[in-house]
Structure 1
Amino acid sequence: AMIDHRNERATGHVLTIEDPIEYVYRNKKSVVNQREIGPDTASLQIALKNALRQAPDVILIGEIRDRETMSAAIAYAQSGHLCLATLHANNSYQALNRILSFYPVEVRPTMLGDLAAALRAIVSQRLLRTHTGGRVPAMEVMLNTSLIADLIQKADFSGVREAMEKSLAEGSQTFEQDLSRLITDGLVSRNEGLAHADSPNNLLWRLQNDFNSTKAADAASPGEEENTDMATFTEFTLDVKF
């Protein structure tokens, strides 16, 4: 979706490195060059090494599985390229811990400094069943603010999670915050939301707090509705950068 958004709105060269290619993009405003490991390049290592020689504006790495790929993503960002990538993790806390696990202890301080400077955001998504049988995404968004960058550099990932839960990281949101919105808006059931929450107790607290806040707002200003538009977060996901 982020590649399509860029493709529809900006000119440039988008290079993807995938294993395998799961979705074929049509050129729109951008030229999208998809490279599949095997048919188009002998190995992932060769594809990563030759990526910058193709003068891309955007680089998509299908999945980061090891230190070499992670280091390449950071290097692309440090050279001024927008790098998008996927990583198997349930949330931003687990993603940061997995990235850390790629590196031996002696090089972690340097890597964390580079990551803190280059990372733009981590976006996690879970698909929930709606009342009508369809699917709707619940989103966790971690924006790399100055506070978050400082915590990442210190490897204080629990602090990152705490800052998000307390809304200290401007623009970020936890799964529980978005699940509360989905339940309150009637898009998913309470049980469905609780089943996908990292902390069901936190979600229950938020639902009660949101309910009390709505009652207070209705009493003060009857007829006015709170705006829960997610457009802001959609815009920010386009700046995911390693």
Structure 2
Amino acid sequence: MNMEEIVALSVKHNVSDLHLCSAWPARWRIRGRMEAAPFDAPDVEELLREWLDDDQRAILLENGQLDFAVSLAENQRLRGSAFAQRQGISLALRLLPSHCPQLEQLGAPPVLPELLKSENGLILVTGATGSGKSTTLAAMVGYLNQHADAHILTLEDPDVILLGELRDSETIRLALTAAETGHLVLATLHTRGAAQAVERLVDSFPAQEKDPVRNQLAGSLRAVLSQKLEVDKQEGRVALFELLINTPAVGNLIREGKTHQLPHVIQTGQQVGMITFQQSYQQRVKEGRL
């Protein structure tokens, strides 16, 4: 099978990820579970020769690892990670949706569109790898494109900035500064809950900088949306959400370093649109999804 046929078969079986190495049997991930794939792994090095340019191949050769994206036929997009192993180059490929989903289709908290109308501030989307953060971000940007009179991801005078993952203190500082200076910033973080996201941001800085960062975060954070995926009754996957909104009380807790109290605030904050994973789970049960 060629790659287009493999991807078409993967879409048919609701595959989220492909794991390919010429020296090993192909595997794919369905509903969060890794399984043997019903086809032989293609020649990975031949695929990379087709997909990567000279600069990308040089980076892979030098670093032994490369992240990239590729578009195939039928508007199918893949996000890939190539890495060197003893047996040769391995590929991990994430199948991206060909059409941008709507927030309502994802079951996102109803207050999220209102938060996206903010003229400035930081909105974080957090969760483990494979929890659907990129899909939610795409839906958020799609909503802004449809409903907001704003420039998104432009080089000059942007209103909305999509940063992707906040990997280090330098990127976090950039996000906070942009959020303070009249931009709405959307970004992701690999944490499993809203409170942990706040702690992770602060802990990325040395001790002498933590208090100023807490003050910045207390003033510029708009919300933290955490998510995870569960297998539903139809053997598909459904998203569960936790939403922390930066109210004055939340801002004070962040400023004072009392992030351990944030889970309680989320639990009692339904009147302003906050939601816990447990409350989200109960909603899905009422909907008949779980």
The TM-score, its normalising length taken from structure 1, stands at 0.60
Residue 14 of structure 1 corresponds to: 152
Letter matched to residue 152 of structure 1: I
Paired residue for 1:123, among 225, 230, 246?
Answer: 225
Paired residue for 1:156, among 252, 258, 271?
Answer: 258
Q: What stretches of structure 2 of length at least 5 have no aligned partner?
A: 1-138
Residue 60 of structure 1 corresponds to: 162
Residue 165 of structure 1 corresponds to: 267
The alpha carbon displacement at 1:184 in A equals 3.1
Distance 2:245 2:278 in 1: 16
Letter matched to residue 122 of structure 1: V
Task: Report matched runs for 1:21-170 at 5 Å.
Answer: 33=154, 54-167=156-269, 170=272
Letter matched to residue 177 of structure 1: Q
The alpha carbon displacement at 1:170 in A equals 2.9
Q: Which has the higher contact order (CA 8 A, sep 6+)?
A: 1
Q: What stretches of structure 1 of length at least 5 have no aligned partner?
A: 16-32, 34-50, 189-242
Distance 1:113 1:63 in 2: 22
Name the SS for the 1:124 alignment partner: strand
Superimposed CA distance per residue, residues 24-76 of structure 1 (whole angstroms, 9 cap, x where no aligned partner): xxxxxxxxx4xxxxxxxxxxxxxxxxx6xx21111000110000000100100
Letter matched to residue 172 of structure 1: M
- Are 2:223 and 2:246, in contact at CA under 8 Å, matched by a contact in 1? yes
Letter matched to residue 258 of structure 2: D
Q: 1:169 to 1:63 in 2, by over 3 A?
A: farther
Distance 1:138 1:10 in 2: 26
Task: Please say if 1:4 is aligned against 2:142.
Answer: yes
Residue 282 of structure 2 corresponds to: 180
Distance 2:148 2:264 in 1: 36
Distance 2:140 2:270 in 1: 26
Q: Share of identical aligned residues, percent?
A: 34
Superimposed CA distance per residue, residues 150-178 of structure 1 (whole angstroms, 9 cap, x where no aligned partner): 10111111111121123377321111111
Name the SS for the 2:202 alignment partner: helix
Higher strand share: 2
Distance 1:152 1:172 in 2: 17
Q: 1:169 to 1:121 in 2, by over 3 A?
A: farther
RMSD of the alignment, in Å?
Answer: 1.5
Letter matched to residue 282 of structure 2: S
Letter matched to residue 261 of structure 2: G
Distance 2:213 2:237 in 1: 38
Superimposed CA distance per residue, residues 192-219 of structure 1 (whole angstroms, 9 cap, x where no aligned partner): xxxxxxxxxxxxxxxxxxxxxxxxxxxx
The alpha carbon displacement at 1:12 in A equals 2.9
Letter matched to residue 13 of structure 1: H
Residue 130 of structure 2 corresponds to: none
- Are 1:147 and 1:169, in contact at CA under 8 Å, matched by a contact in 2? no
